[in-house]
Amino acid sequence: MEVPSLQGLGLEHGVLTKEKEKEIDKKGQSLKIGIPKEASAEERRVAISPAGVATLVANGHEVLVGEGAGEGANFPDTEYADAGASLIPSAKDLYGQSTLIVKVGPPTSEEAGLLKERQVLISALHLGNMSLDVLKRTQELGVTGLAFEFIRDSDGSLPIVRMMHEIMGSMAIQIAARYLETNEDGRGVMLGGISGVPPSNVVILGAGVVGEWAARTALGFGAHVIVLDNDLGALRALEHYLGRGITTAMATDQYIRQAMVTADVVIGAMMTAGYRAPVVATEDMVASMRDGAVIVDTVIDQGGCIETSQPMTHSDPVFRRHGVIHYCVPNMPSNAARTATYALTNVLVPYVLKIGEAASVNEALWMDVGLRNGTYVYRKHITKKSLATIFGVPHRDIELLIASGI
């Protein structure tokens, strides 16, 4: 007998966007939103799901989707067409017809060549391998660039970064468990051990969101978990949420070195938002680790926090150094493309709607702190000090630029 209240409840209903449909008012603008197929074969995510497209269309916007954009996340073109999107076979045509581009990966040199003047671009930046040529191209065209890494709400949270970091933290442990197996030339041990056999030691460098979700997942496996960070408050919060099942310590050279000697798994998760990740584990620390141990550097897209890390790809994800298996793939959530796409949709669609509700991009940035914080290039100026420092170029304050109307 069916329970009436549960009829029609689907597995994915909980992750579909629930934005309320709202008509564009007189001050708003109808946007032409382009969602291109990602240029990199390694990127399987798409910025917005068909459900998110339906919400944008219902709010009076036109959505252009590159043919095959959702294939990697198992969203066929027919779902986008049914949601009201126009399918565009040519990337050149999609960029040329759109006023706002929303994508996952940072624009490649080829994609930067397709951008047009005063376009709005929302994407990730990946500060660890950001291209100066691409940045200069966005400046020259007067593009308004918003980066996932910088979008910060009034409560101080980084909503897109947090979503991706939750995925990365959980995936890091799943990946480490696989590479510990004998079949992958790992140590041949289980994370949680069994009766009479002690669990593996998992060392997590960083008590941020990635570290938290890595710790949650490792505890779920039954591993012995040590988390190190320089922020005592973050360690205290982690113990509060996860209980005394984890061991915490300050991330001094001494404690890191001691922890890595006996580690079966090291998760690199030390980062500062908007900056290159600090290197906290040196090569000699890695050399002291057990043969067949596993390192997963989850912040490799920010440069990595372990000295021996180097960027790899999904098709060639690991290398060994000092007998230790290293997994250093910049876009880890791409391997959970469908989940990651839903997560991106839930955060990105409300921001795009806010841009549409304003009379101009200038007004949208002024009215919404998240969008304003997310802007890294505006009116031909770099607006992020951290980004300007990386390339040794000048920057301008975003609020002054908006207020001045330059």
Query: Among the options 229, 297, 301, 368, which is catalytic?
Result: 301
Q: What are 378's strand-pairing partners? A: 381
CA 363 distance to own-chain centroid: 27
Task: Kindly list the distances between the CA atom of residue 100 and the CA atoms of 103, 126, 322, 366, in Å, as whole numbers in the listed order.
Answer: 10, 20, 47, 18
Which secondary structure element, helix H or strand E, spans residue 170, and what is its range? helix 159-179
Query: Among the options 126, 165, 224, 381, which is catalytic?
Result: 126
What CA–CA distance (Å, rounded) separates 244 from 229? 16
User: Could you tell me the sign of the dihedral formed by the alpha carbons of 134, 400, 158, 243, in that order?
Assistant: positive
Q: How deeply is 84 buried, as exposed, middle or buried, from its count of CB atoms within 10 A (0-12, 13-18, 19+)?
A: middle
* Amino acid identity at 85: A
In the numeric block, the tokens 């949420």 are attached to 241
Q: Are 100 and 33 in contact (CB under 8 A)?
A: yes
Instruction: Give the burial string for 155-178 (b: 16+ CB within 10 Å, else e).
Output: eeebbbbbbbbbbbbbbbbebbbe
Tokens of 150: 């910088």
Contacts of 233 (CB under 8 A, 6+ apart): none
Tokens of 405: 């109307």
What CA–CA distance (Å, rounded) separates 136 from 382? 9
* Amino acid identity at 306: I
Contacts of 51 (CB under 8 A, 6+ apart): 16, 17, 83, 345
Q: Are 64 and 99 in contact (CB under 8 A)?
A: no
Q: Is 126 a catalytic residue?
A: yes
**Residues annotated as part of the active site:** 126, 301
